[in-house]
Structure 1
């Protein structure tokens, strides 16, 4: 059986792509200051990166600017942008929206005094047209603390009306970033949602390194 050069090239090209390229996606990590965003990013790298030791989680300070990180899951690479959550820095969030494939929004479920402030920042963020259709994962952090709000209570605050989400994939989960509880489950959900949304927001492609 003769195989045409074009067909052979297509087969080899597909094999090369499968072997040496990853689909690369950008994920924003947002939320108020002290919500636990950087601790969450460190735990994510620890859980998905072999031999990664990470920084001392008890010595992490408030982010001023941007922290970055990346993990590989199969043939998917996630690039994380952890942005500062202070009020004066929230105006910078939308500079990253157009290039984002997903958003993780972290809520300090133990800080009931700032829950309305967090909700306001959240609603301003999801109403931006540049994030239309982008998968959204809300994480109720600090579930290990006795005084924290339950996940259903946080959901009632942030998901009180479904119209504003515009048909995007949404989920809310409880985690303890400090202890690493719930981190893996959230990332695996996010990967599937990003892949399912790849027609709307195609991945970047990069050779495996």
Structure 2
């Protein structure tokens, strides 16, 4: 089930708009996840050199997802996209254990940004189908999330290519947004 079908099921106030920032290291699966959310083909995906934006309108809800490239040279530009973010989705390659320290450093820097203060964080633990994939609990521990008290967060195991776990993650996002007042009026 794609994001459009999920949004049709959710009840929301009319004319609401959400800004979702989709970040993570290169090769984590951000663009694959975004294409899956938009119910697009995921067979041929190239590394994002700048950013992708997808908007979906359903049941009076406009969801704007900003997918920013994760290459080291692009990361300093992430802060240009922080304004008015309602939800941060951070994608991790669960099988790339060599980069857990790097991803923790990047996530910690994001969580210290004043423009992202209090913004709920959904971490998609992607590539769960690979043999070396870390569990959600292991990722929570490695990233130091269990001590985070200043915002809501969730680690959602997923396989972005197959769409497995994506719906559950987005349901968590919509639950958090609805509990906080449901986005911004257009």
In structure 1, stretches of 5+ residues that fail to align are: 1-17, 47-53
| SS of equivalent residue, structure 1 residue 117 | helix
Instruction: Return the TM-score normalized by structure 1.
Output: 0.78
Q: 1: CA distance between counterparts of 2:83 and 2:16?
A: 18
- Matched positions, count: 174
Asked whether 1:146 is paired with 2:146, we answer no
Q: Flag structure 2 segments of 5+ consecutive residues without an equivalent.
A: 1-12
Task: Summarize deviations over 1:172-191 as a string: whole Å, max 9, x none.
Answer: 11000011101111111101
Conserved 8 A contact 1:134-1:197: no
The C-alpha deviation readout for 1:50-104, integer Å capped at 9, x for no partner, is xxxx23x232011011001122453322100000001111111111112211100
**3-state SS of 2:66 partner:** strand
Q: Does 1:116 align with 2:101?
A: yes
Q: Which structure has the greater CA radius of gyration?
A: 1
Give 3-state SS (helix, strand or coil) of 1:189's partner. Answer: helix
CA RMSD in angstroms comes to: 1.7
TM-score, normalised by the number of residues in structure 2: 0.87
Structure number with the higher helix fraction is 1
Alignment counterpart, residue 32 of structure 1, candidates 2, 25, 32: 25
